Amino acid sequence: MRPSSPSDKSAERGGGCDDRGSASLEFLTAGLLMLVPLVYLILTLGTIQSASLAAEGAARQAARVFVQADSTAAGSAAAKRALAIAFADHGLETTATSIAITCEPRPDRCHTRRGWVTVRVEASVPLPLVPPLFDLRVPLAIPIEASATQQVSRFWGAG
């Protein structure tokens, strides 16, 4: 019996190819291919959640400050300030936001005793890490909206 050499063992295994070290390369490649989309998904969901919380907080606070204001003009200004503060607290810009205020039962007079004021906030959140250059045909933003309703005090304007 003759002693076997390393080349004889590789020939017996079915080819002359040595597979040592390829598992770590395959792990790194497959890991990166799955990790990059997962990290992007987490970033996107975090951005959407932050904008959702900001819109909800802005709508709620804007409705509160509007019904406590002395006039409709002062209430609108206070609601816009509440919107800016809520979005700034979450690190978002207010460039793609809008606020709409509706009143019931008299739409022309918002500060009616026991009237209802509804504030609706709409925002458009851009996808993270996507340059605006790609926003030509399809808008690359997620629309977010929130609303809140507050009742005007029955004592409003009594003093």
Rounded to whole angstroms, how far apart are CA atoms 64 and 147?
12
**What is the amino acid identity at position 38?**
L
**Residue 7, both tokens:** 């080349």
- d(Cα 152, Cα 117) in Å, to the nearest integer? 7
CA 153, CA 4: separation in Å to the nearest integer? 96
How many whole angstroms separate alpha carbon 101 and alpha carbon 66?
Answer: 9
Reported pTM: 0.76
**pLDDT digit string (tens) for 102-155?**
999 888 888 888 999 999 999 999 888 888 777 677 778 899 999 999 999 888
Q: Residue 14: pLDDT above 70?
A: no
The pLDDT tens digits of the residues spanning 71-86 come to 999 999 999 999 999 9
